[in-house]
Structures are given as C-alpha cells and as structure tokens.
Chain A
Amino acid sequence: MQKLLLLGDEAIAQGAIDAGLSGIYAYPGTPSTEITEYVQHSKEAQQKGIRCSWSTNEKTAMEAALGMSYAGKRAMVCMKHVGLNVAADPFINSAITGANGGMIIVSADDPSMHSSQNEQDSRFFGKFAMMPILEPSNQQEAYDMVHYGFELSEKYMIPVLMRITTRMAHSRAGVSRKSETRKQNEMKLPTDLRQFVLLPAIARRRYKGLLSNQELFEMESEKSVFNNYIDGADKKMGIITTGIAFNYLMENYPERVIPNPVLKIDQYPIPRKLVEKLYNECDELLILEEGYPLVEDMLKGFMANGKKIKGRLDGTVPRDGELNPNIVAVALGMTDTIGADVPGNVVSRPPALCTGCPHTDSYLALNEALIKLEPGRVFADIGCYTLGALKPLEAINTCVDMGASITMAKGAADAGLVPAVAVIGDSTFTHSGITGLIDAVNDKSPITVLILDNGTTAMTGGQNSAAQGRIESICRGIGVEEEHIRILKPLRKNHEENTQIMMEELAYNGVSVIIPRRECIVAIDKRVRAKAKIKAEDQA
C-alpha cells in the first residue's frame, strides 16, 4: 500500500480508525485539534459509524469516552495539555475504575508555548494516575502505537495515556497503514457491574489492584518494541532520549551511527532494567527529553549522589522550551551552527485580530465605556479576543484559563472592584463560563459579562460552538434578569449606541450580560467558499 503523508495528529486518527475505534471525544486545542478533525472528515470513519462531533469541554469528553469504554467499545479522547487539567478528575479516577473497552487519552503538549499559556508536561499526569504512557518519536510510531495502546488497554483493563508534543503533532511524514484493520468491539458491559462504582470500599480494592499492576506495566515497558537499547562503543557517556528527542540526537550523526550507548524510551513506566544496564555500563548519563526533566529528575534523585546525570537540571540543556538539533548538538559537545544574523530592520510581526473582526468593535465600545474609570478592571478569557491585550486595543487585563474571566471578575468585585468586567467568547462560555455565572447570580455580584458571540470557536480554526443561538436563553435559565441581558451588533456604525448600552450595564449593581453578536469573518468566508464548492460540484 502507498504511504500516506500524514501529520502526527492525523497518523493517530488513522491509527484509531484502523484499530477499531467506535468513538472519539474532544474539545479543540492546539496542537491536538487535527486528530478529531481528521476523523470528522474521513469517509471511512463515516462508513464505520464512528462517533466524532465536538464535546463542550475536556471533562465532558473524558467522561463520555469512559462511558463508551464501560459499554465495551474502543474510545479515544483528545485534548491539548491544559485540557488535561480540566479533565483531571475523571482522568485520575479512570485509572482506578479501569477500562472495559480499550481507551486512549491523547494529550498534546506545547513546549515553547507556541499557542498556549504554559508548557506543562502531561507525562507527570500519567505518572500521577499510574497509567501506562506512550510517547511516539515519529509519525509511523504514532500510527502503530494506537493499535498497540488499545491492545495494552484491553489486556490490563486500564486507560492508556498517549503524550505528543507540537513538532510531532504538526509535522507530516509518510506513514504505512497496517494491511489488516480491526473491527469495532460489540457492546459488552463490564463483567463486574460494580467495577466503576468508586465507593470507598470498592475504590480501595481497585486502587490496590492498580498498585499491584504497576509491576506488570513496567514489565510491558521492559519488553516493548518502542523502547530500544542501542549499544555503542564509547561508554564514557550513555544517552537516554524520550519521544522526539531521539530524532534530534540522530540528526547530529548524518551516518546515523551514535558512538555512545543510547536508550530510547517511548513507553512508560520507565523501563527500570534497561536504565540500570545503561547506568552500570557508562560513566555518566545525558538525558534528552522534550518537556520537563521527568526521567532526569527521577534518575538524579534528591541527593544526586550517584553518577553524573546531565540534562535540563544541570544546564547542559536549557531548562525550558522545546529541543531542536542545535540544542542537542551543544549538549553533545559539538560546535553549534548558525547562518547570518537577522538584519536590524526586520521587525516582529505578532498575531492580531483580523481586519473587520467583530471583537475589535466590541473592544472599541468597551474601551470608551470605561474611559472615565481607573484602568485594570477587565477580566478576559481565552480565544481570538485575547489578542485584545495587545496594541492598539490594550483592552484586557487577564487571561488565565478557560472560564476564569467571569469568576475572577466576581472575586475582584467581592474585593470591592466595582464595576468589574468579564469578557468571554461563546465557546469558552459553554466550556467553563456557565458555572461561574451561576455563582455570580447567586451572590448578585456587581459584574458586567460580555459574551462575545462570533458563532464559532475561532482561535482553533472555526469548530462548531456548543451553544449556537442559545446563549441568552442559557443566561435567562441561570437567573440573569431579562432586562440585564442585552444583545448588540458590534459594528463601527453602532459604536455610540453600543457604548451607551455598556455604560448602562456597568452602572447596574448586579449581574448584567451583554452579548455582542456578529459572525467571525473567517467563518463567513469559509461558509461561502464551502457553498460555492458544493454548487460547483453539483454543476459538474
């Protein structure tokens, strides 16, 4: 079969389709989004009836996947790294309930924070939950590991975490598909119908089971085809790589022969015997990890009284940011390479709101409505509208995690900052804003909430938004007073009127919701193009 040219994300999706997946659950987030989108666009997935629409947030996605696993079918749940924080409760507990049908959790980390608030390393979550972790080093492994991961999951009845990083997720390479694909599982409930009942008495028993399985998980890592010990003659230094760090190591040896012994780890728990072998044979170790120094920290230990361990903790490799071939070259003691300097007249080009973006008009009105007040009272959230923090708008003061706008505004108002303003997008509102708004209504907090309704999840590429057209009825249902729910159209020509409405609601000593509603222009463009395409195909 001809190789497919796939992104790492797409390789995972194709792997899942071929491995008998029944449902994929996800909330979009860079760099994980293309996994679910690939399944959504796959004709094969459609023919196989694979469930694939977006979930409201990562927690609902995780729980739905666990429900599918409970019913005996194979489920995958995908998110960006910070999404795993949102889904942490069901994630940690799913290791204790265990799985029935195979279950894989994909968490996509973003070292160097290309599109994220932090660069947390999901492997720590996997270790915390005591789950097996898979970390592919290339696109082919990503594909193969999905088959393997479902097998592992069903063999030990345990969900499996697959951890990828940006360069793996968003890089394309040729991938060979397996010649035989697997059928989906039939529905089959757990043999013990109390397996998933985490009452203390049951949870204690199941937790002991999880603990005693650790040895078996380690044994699987020890013999895994994805963990390789590659011998080398120069024992002065042994090298451990995890995930894609292996590629950067290889890149520095054009003949692909490394003089030192190398342990390539792509499956966890860490294969203890293989590590011991390397440690015993070499004078010192260099650890190359894409992410936090997880392996390095464990090997070094608190007292650091063994052999020398080099890596991110001793400065051999920078403490933060993603790896690249140059960083690894320096860590290996090779000379660094670099081309000419960037000419002095080249300036930075930060991302910005599109020309004609509805958010710009909302912010212009808000800035004017607040002009007479002390600055520093606008609590915003995550989405395209976060770019309103930059020049020329400089309209917002916070961006922490999805949903934090409403709750932080409430807390600040409780502290006496009145009026306090929250700015949140429509998709972020349904993701995590609704619960905070209930808190505010219950306390009758003096906050003004702008729910910027552009009809889509724009920042991540225009996925469906969960509350399409229902935002005001949700607010009403929660108990926001009818007369303080104001809908307006963010257009330059409505500027005066919109500013006036905002000033009125800022003056109200209770919860107000303002919904500036105008479709994202990129979404309009996409819609128009899709229509034209269908029309052209119909005519052809």
Chain B
Amino acid sequence: MKKDIILAGVGGQGILSIAAIIGSAALDMGLYLKQSEVHGMAQRGGDVSSNLRIGDKEIASDLIAKGKADIVISVEPMEGLRYLPMLSSEGWLITNSTPFKNIPNYPEIDDLYTEIAKVHRHVMIDAEGIAKELGTAKAANVVILGAASAHLGISFESLENAIRRIFAKKGDAVVELNINALKAGRDFAEKNSHL
C-alpha cells in the first residue's frame, strides 16, 4: 500500500491539522510516513501545501513526483486546482467549496466550480455548512477529511481513534463533534462522488 496525498489551502487555514490526524492513524497502523510541511514566509496568507506520503514500505522522497499524487485534499476551491499537475490521471480531488478571498483578483467562483467539475474523479463539499449544522464551523477541516477518508488506505476506525487521541485534551464533547464531522464528510462523499 502506498498513498501520496497533497494537502492544499491558504496559510492560516490549518491544513496541518488534517495531516496530523492522518499521520497519527497511519503510525497507529504501523505504516511508514513522510510529511513535508511549509513553514515561514508563505504562512502569511499565501498558498500553502503539504506532501503527505504513507505506505507499508519505507518512503524515499519527502516530495511527491508530479502526476503521481493519489489524492489532493483542499480546504479551498482555487487551491485544490493549483495542484492538478501533481495529481495522477486516476487520482481524486477532494475540495471544499467555500472560497477564501484575501486577494483582490480572486476569480469568479462559478468558473472555479466548472474547472473542478472537469476533474475526472472529484468530490466538492460545503464543509463549513455541514460543520455549522453539527455545531461549529471549526470542524470544517475534519468534514473534508471525512470526504477523503475512503481513499486514504486507512480504515475509518483508525481515523476515529486518531481523532480521539488528538482531541482528548479538549474533552468528550469536542471529540464527539469531530467524529460526527468525519462521518458527515464520509456520508456526503458516498452520495456525491463524481467519477
């Protein structure tokens, strides 16, 4: 098993929280992992990405080769599209639909949706909307993770357990909320995957 995952978003959107959950679950399953992160200048509201690689054999490169990513998980619609050159022709684009507009020339959102719809395999999800219904928009990233969960090579239980470990300090209510967010994302993706 080998999964090459690109996480995309804007500095400050917390893409590394998604990486932390996948990473914890992968380690728990005894898998190898390499995760390249962006620190520094780009974090000031610029585009950021992380290369997350998991597998049952030792991983060589910290960076994924172009055209070889199995999945791009994006917390922002334009940012997901930025990494299409990384995605394999069989790969999945899992993206949030809510734009993060911190630049004056942000494109027409419908044009971005059109481009997303052109990607062979994709899921587009209103993560904030779903998270708000569950209680807080803060769980949006976990909703997106849920939407990606079928394609990670990691069992759903392992992801749930990782959430329990990571959010344990914040109390049962927060753990419960995030597990629900994970499920909601998964349910949505099961009904709305475009192949």
Contacts and interface: CB of A to CB of B under 8 A. Distances in A.
Given A31-B39, A339-B89, A343-B84, A173 B34 contact: yes
Given A337-B68, A343-B84, A170 B107 contact: no
Contact of B35 (A172, A340, A346, A354): A172
B154 interface: no
Given A173-B33, A250-B61, A340-B87, A345 B40 contact: no
Given A339-B89, A340-B85, A345-B115, A3 B27 contact: yes
Nearest to B27: A5
B115 A325 contact: no
Contacts of B107: 345-347
Contact of B39 (A34, A351, A354): A34
B88 interface: yes
Interface in A27-59: 30-31, 33-34
B105 A347 contact: yes
A354 B45 contact: yes
Given A250-B61, A347-B103, A349-B47, A7 B84 contact: no
A34 B16 CA distance: 16
Contacts of A324: 61, 63, 65-66
A189 interface: no
A345 B69 contact: no
Nearest to A173: B34
Interface string A155-171: 00000000000011011
A354 B45 CA distance: 7
8 contacts: A34-B39, A114-B42, A115-B42, A172-B33, A324-B66, A342-B85, A343-B112, A351-B44
Contact of B46 (A248, A339, A351): A351
A256 interface: yes
B36 A167 contact: yes
A247 B59 CA distance: 9
The 9 A-B residue pairs with the shortest CB-CB distance in the complex, in nearest-first order: A30-B40, A115-B40, A351-B46, A250-B60, A337-B67, A251-B61, A325-B65, A351-B44, A171-B62
Contacts of B51: 171
A376 to B, nearest CB: 25
Contact of A459 (B10, B41, B79): B41
Contacts of A389: none
Contacts of B79: 349
Nearest to A392: B104
A459 B79 CA distance: 23
Interface in A139-183: 167-168, 170-174
A256 B60 contact: yes
B91 A345 contact: no
Contacts of B61: 247-248, 250-251, 324-325
Contacts of B67: 337-339
A387 B85 contact: no
B23 interface: yes
Contacts of B111: 345
A421 B11 CA distance: 31
A329 interface: yes
Contacts of B39: 30-31, 33-34, 115, 170, 461
Nearest to A348: B47
Counting chain B CB atoms within 10 Å of each CB, which of A30, A329, A345 scores highest? A345
How big is chain A's contact interface, by range? 35 or more
A422 interface: no
A187 interface: no
B81 interface: yes
Contacts of A114: 38, 40-42
Contacts of B33: 5, 172-174
B84 A168 contact: no
A463 interface: no
A336 B47 CA distance: 25
A454 to B, nearest CB: 13
A352 B85 contact: no
B66 A338 contact: yes
Contacts of B45: 349, 351-352, 354
A333 interface: no
Given A248-B61, A251-B60, A172 B34 contact: yes
Interface string A470-514: 000000000000000000000000000000000000000000000
A366 B106 CA distance: 28
Contacts of B112: 343, 345-346
B115 A343 contact: yes
Given A7-B37, A115-B40, A343 B65 contact: no
A117 B112 CA distance: 34
Given A114-B42, A171-B51, A346-B81, 17 more contacts: A5-B33, A114-B40, A115-B40, A172-B35, A173-B34, A173-B35, A248-B63, A324-B66, A341-B84, A342-B84, A343-B115, A345-B108, A345-B115, A346-B115, A351-B43, A351-B44, A352-B44
Contacts of B37: 7, 170-172
Contacts of A524: none
Interface string B99-137: 000110111100110010001000000000000000000
Contacts of A338: 66-67, 85
A388 B38 CA distance: 22
B167 interface: no
Given A172-B37, A343-B115, A384 B44 contact: yes
A82 to B, nearest CB: 13
Contacts of A345: 107-108, 111-112, 115
A350 interface: yes
B163 interface: no
A390 to B, nearest CB: 11
A5 B38 contact: no
A297 B112 CA distance: 47
A287 interface: no
A167 B106 CA distance: 30
Given A170-B39, A349-B46, A351-B46, A339 B65 contact: no
Contacts of B119: 340
Nearest to B11: A351
A248 B36 CA distance: 14
Interface string B7-50: 00011000000000001000100001111111111111111000
Given A171-B35, A173-B34, A339 B102 contact: no
B82 interface: yes
A460 interface: yes
A334 to B, nearest CB: 10
A178 B32 CA distance: 19
A120 interface: no
